[in-house]
């Protein structure tokens, strides 16, 4: 059998569906009128001097990376979610991401982040670090 692409990055996929109305099968799940109801601009959140903060996320996966708890030969261990809190007014421009959760378990169906990382093994070694630089 083939795995659904939505199972590779389920956390991203669920958020994309919420914003776009397009399901993993490609079907439109909602119809909008003349106004853009799902428009999102980041610019207002990047304005200095307003104490703005937001969470930046990176979801990664290496399908087929199995272990005892996640033995599906196509999916392997679930996607991993790394996050950092960006404080727009902060002087230091660099942000180091931290491992926050994964996209296994009921995340495949619900899109909810799973925070129990005990069962994750070699997938934690996929990267050394994620670093973001926010320039003002």
Domain boundaries defined on the chain: 5-133
- pTM comes to 0.84
* pLDDT value at residue 1: 41
* Local mean pLDDT, 10-residue blocks, the chain (136 residues): 74 87 69 54 84 94 91 91 95 96 92 96 93 86
pLDDT digits (tens, 9 = 90+) for 113-128: 999 999 999 999 999 9
* pLDDT value at residue 9: 92
Residue by residue, DSSP assigns 50-116 as S--EEEEEEEE--TT---SS---TTT-SPPEEEEEEEETT-S--EEE-EEEEES-TTHHHH-PPB--
* pLDDT value at residue 24: 73
* pLDDT value at residue 33: 47
């Amino acid at each position: 059998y083939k795995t659904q692409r939505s199972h590779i990055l389920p956390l991203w996929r669920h958020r994309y569906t919420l914003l776009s109305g397009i399901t993993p099968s490609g079907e439109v799940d909602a119809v909008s009128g003349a106004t853009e109801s799902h428009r999102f601009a980041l610019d207002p959140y990047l304005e200095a001097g307003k104490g703005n903060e937001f969470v930046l996320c990176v979801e990664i996966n290496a399908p087929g990376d199995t272990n005892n708890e996640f033995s599906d030969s196509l999916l392997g261990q679930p996607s991993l979610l790394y996050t950092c809190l960006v404080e727009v007014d902060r002087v230091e421009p660099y942000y180091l991401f931290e491992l926050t959760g994964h996209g296994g378990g009921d995340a495949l169906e619900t899109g909810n982040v799973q925070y129990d990382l005990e069962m994750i093994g070699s997938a934690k070694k996929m990267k050394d670090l994620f670093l973001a630089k926010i320039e003002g």
